[in-house]
Structure 1
């Protein structure tokens, strides 16, 4: 299933750990604090456990949204590179 993971973490070191963990799970960065990719249920749970450990006692907000294939078919993107 496709997923969207977004986060707001103030500490650079922790934020970088979370980003690297997302990449380790095959997710692709679409914004500085947003990743997307395909993960099954077990991998989603494992990813959130690892991110929770990386967050430790630091403050932060991490959200993982599963997106069904029907909704992914409705996906649209505008990606322009300015002058």
Structure 2
């Protein structure tokens, strides 16, 4: 199932380890603190345990959200490229 991982971690060292863990699980970096990709139930559980251990007692929040294909089809993106001129 498609999975979104979003995190807000204060400490740089821990944030980097969270980033690397998501990459290790084959997720794609889609925003500063967001990853997306395919993870089955077991892999998602493994990642959750790894992220929980990595965060430890440090301040932060990690969201792991499975997304079904039906809901994924409703995804909409608003993108403004650098240098774009917006209509007034």
TM-score, normalising length: structure 2: 0.88
Instruction: Output aligned runs, 1:1-83, within 5 Å.
Output: 1-83=1-83
C-alpha deviation, 1:32, in angstroms: 0.8
What's the C-alpha RMSD, in Å, of the aligned pairs?
1.0
Question: Number of aligned pairs?
Answer: 83
C-alpha deviation, 1:77, in angstroms: 2.1
C-alpha deviation, 1:10, in angstroms: 0.1
Bigger Rg over Cα: 2
**C-alpha separation between the residues in 1 aligned to 2:73 and 2:32?**
24
Deviates more, 1:42-51 or 1:54-63: 54-63
**C-alpha separation between the residues in 2 aligned to 1:25 and 1:80?**
29
**C-alpha separation between the residues in 2 aligned to 1:59 and 1:78?**
30
